[in-house]
Structure 1
Amino acid sequence: MKISGNIITLNEEANITDCINSLKQVCDEIIVVDSGSKDKTIEIAQSLGAKVIHQVYLGDGFQKNIALKEVQYNWVLSLDADERLTEEMIKDIRSIDLESTKFDAFSFRRKNMIGSRWIKHCGWYPDNCTRLYNHKKTKFKEVKQHSSVPANSLKTFNSDIIHFSFKNIGELFAKPGRNFSGRAAKIMFAKGKKANSFSPFLHGLNAFIRKYIFQKGFLGGVDGMTIALSSAINSYLKYAKLLEFQRDKSVTEQNEFKNIW
């Protein structure tokens, strides 16, 4: 049974070659859904034999499902551009009889990296992700943030996707194109959610305690502390921005809420 590979991209010229070559080890076609790259992402993808679809970014789940209109095969393997298959994962995928399997989808662990460092704490591992699925039976949830693939019948493998999350600690706080707190605040504001003067501090503190204590970030040394702090700052800013939208009409008028993405 053949597999279609699916990648969503925006200015991923530094990653797209390795991602496509990784998928080619198990996939029989590659679909790249690009949301307006200004670099050489599209040119590189096409030179490597991928089919490129142009689509303004719709949000995570919506964007990842765009390829399903174009894929030739029932089984789809979805990777982000900064993710790679490990040898163990490749062996596991090749071992599946997709023609007769009783499963709708397959899940793999994900090794999230900062630089060359594998982060094992703070909830960053095993970080199971369902990425190989029969699109005739399931697909990504059509939500704008942190989408996943639901499955009635799921098998989890003990092999890993490698995720090159951040090049360094600095990117953890200021990766280009990341504005999760701003987007989240806009979504909450559009839904009518409210914050008060204590919300930023309380949510920030809760995020830190969850990452550093309950998810054992303290075992990760400086990286564990740094990740817990970045999570706290992101949560703090999300509620601070929501509160600002509520309190300052001039700020609200500067922002577009109908097209957050």
Structure 2
Amino acid sequence: MPGCGKVYLIGAGPGDPDLMTARAIRYLSKADAIVYDRLVSADILALAPASALMVCVGKEPRRHPVPQERINDILVELAGEHATVVRLKGGDPYIFGRGGEEAIRLVEAGIDFEVVPGITAAQGLSAATRIPLTHRGLAHGVRYVTGHCKEGEPLDLDWMSLADPDTTLVVYMGLANLSEITSRLMAHGLPASTPVLAVEKATRADERRLIASLDDIEERARQAGFRSPVTFMIGRVVGLAACFGLEIPAIKPQDLEAARA
């Protein structure tokens, strides 16, 4: 499409602005229009030019005020009006970020684009807590899965392969379906005693952490009043938390009151 602007699909990382790449910050600083979701922190949005058009297309679990198809069209429309359009996504645009769908739409419309990778939540929480995703003798691999599907569709995962004690399993967006996820994993052989790390708002100033076993993480997270975004690390590597002096704060009375509200 002659005369169109260029779209940058940028990974904003897990929340801490210091974890953004230099390339991401450079393109963001030149943006004429920015399309962002609710996982992009306020600290990162503050890096945008004051003159940039800001378009919020935030999504929440089971609530998508702007359908993905409309977001795709918005990017095409903005590219026809602005030279530099930034699509800012939490984490990495190609890891559960729907970036592939947006990229395909841009190709169909003949619009030039570039993908700027970002640190995904799994890497962010691993670094923040010092717990490695893989570790010799404990985990010879790591798998990332999403904990939710399109509304109305069942959570159809390969539970047998996911219930591998030699692999670290990271579950994105799994808070709403945590009871089903844990019960399915245990039903397919993953020990109930498997340690689980839950991190709310990983790498942000208001980050919260919780460690429990597979059979009680759902109850503990509910009692603590955890709210999305929460990422779960499941596997024996979580047992290394004590080696790094990781202190998990006790559940506070106000957390319990928030959960009951």
Give the TM bin, normalised by the shorter chain: 0.3 to 0.5
User: TM-score, normalized by length of structure 1?
Assistant: 0.35
TM-score, normalized by length of structure 2?
0.35
